Amino acid sequence: MFGICASRASESLAGLTNGVHSPALQHRLDQVVSATVARGWKPALAANELAVTVVDLGRSSIPEFASYRGQETLYPASVIKLFFLAAAHRWMEDARIADTPELRRAMRDMIVESYNEATHYVIDVLTGTTSGPELSEPELKVWWERRNAVNRWIAALGYPASVNASKKPWCEGPYGRETQAIRAFEPRRNELTTEATARIVAEIALGRMVSHARSRQMLELMSRDFTGATKDPEDQAHGYSGIALKPGMKLWSKCGLTSETRHDAALIELADGHRWVIVTFTVGHAGERNLIPAIVSGILGLN
């Protein structure tokens, strides 16, 4: 079942340049997914509560990939912040916005600390919109058109139309015009697929996102030391893909966590320099710390 569904969804990785679907990698992923679903999770893991995309960057200049439910649209939680990060670098490169210390501080806090408030600032700078009191219907339409600036850029790059990066992430909110927009326009939440996520991580890893220099700056913010001590077992280095990794490996990542979702978008470099992108989205198992590492361990043969 897994192989048939996954292969049909993986003939192109949302436009990744030179990327090719690998039947051998697909077979490996299907086996890992099947074994993972069959494990005794509590509650039990349903096959439709998981989506995974894997990109092998290490065999040649041509990336090879495979997916399980890779084109299923899911709420991405904080993983969507990778798209705001890349957009900020694109806007700066094109001199559409100024490269200021305050913007750099917000970009760092958005990716390293995953602060929602920092993300709000970055979105405001990118789109020329702000949160605030309710607007009249004509004003709200103008505001919404501006708020979709990142979506227009993503679409121009060939990402699927199902990707939505127009909403601010909230803890207690939203209010005012943000609530108005949720009620007035679809989609009502940010949306993402593991294939689209794997593409942006792969393009950053390959130095293709905006420029080689800017891709390197993005990677600096995504770097995670999974070997170090931590007071927070749920931090991005210790609570997700990093659980599965061994000394000598390297990790760059962006996680996403809500009461319902637990995601990780990881670039992993093995001790021999072989690099992998593994993006795992899970629904309904937010408290299960070992689920994402089980996928990573299976793909990399670390069991």
How does pLDDT run along the chain (303 residues), one tens digit per residue? Answer: 333 344 344 456 767 777 899 999 999 999 999 999 999 999 999 999 999 999 999 866 789 999 999 999 999 999 999 999 999 999 999 999 999 999 999 999 999 999 999 999 999 999 999 999 999 999 999 999 999 999 999 999 999 999 999 999 998 889 999 999 999 999 999 999 999 999 999 999 999 999 999 999 999 999 999 998 888 989 999 999 999 999 999 999 999 999 999 999 999 999 999 999 999 999 999 999 999 999 999 999 997
Backbone angles phi, psi at 257, to 5 degrees: -140, 130
Residue indicated by tokens 């000598």 = 248
Helix axes 81-93, 116-127, angle to 10 degrees: 40
Count of all residues that appear for the chain in the document: 303
Q: How far apart, in Å, are the Cα atoms of 60 and each of 19, 27, 66?
A: 11, 19, 16
Q: Mark out the alpha helices in 238-286 (DSSP H runs).
A: none
Q: Which two tokens stand for residue 26?
A: 């697909």
Residue 265's DSSP bridge partners are: 254, 279
What is the torsional sign of CA 300, 235, 260, 107?
negative
Are residues 35 and 298 in contact, defined by beta-carbon separation less than 8 angstroms? yes
- What predicted TM-score, i.e. pTM, was given to this entire model? 0.95
**156 SS3 class:** helix
CA distance 167 to 182: 9
Write the CB contacts of 165 (distance below 8 Å, at least 6 apart in sequence). 80, 83, 84, 87, 150, 151, 154, 190, 192
CA distance 265 to 66: 15
Cα 196 to its chain centre, rounded Å, is 8
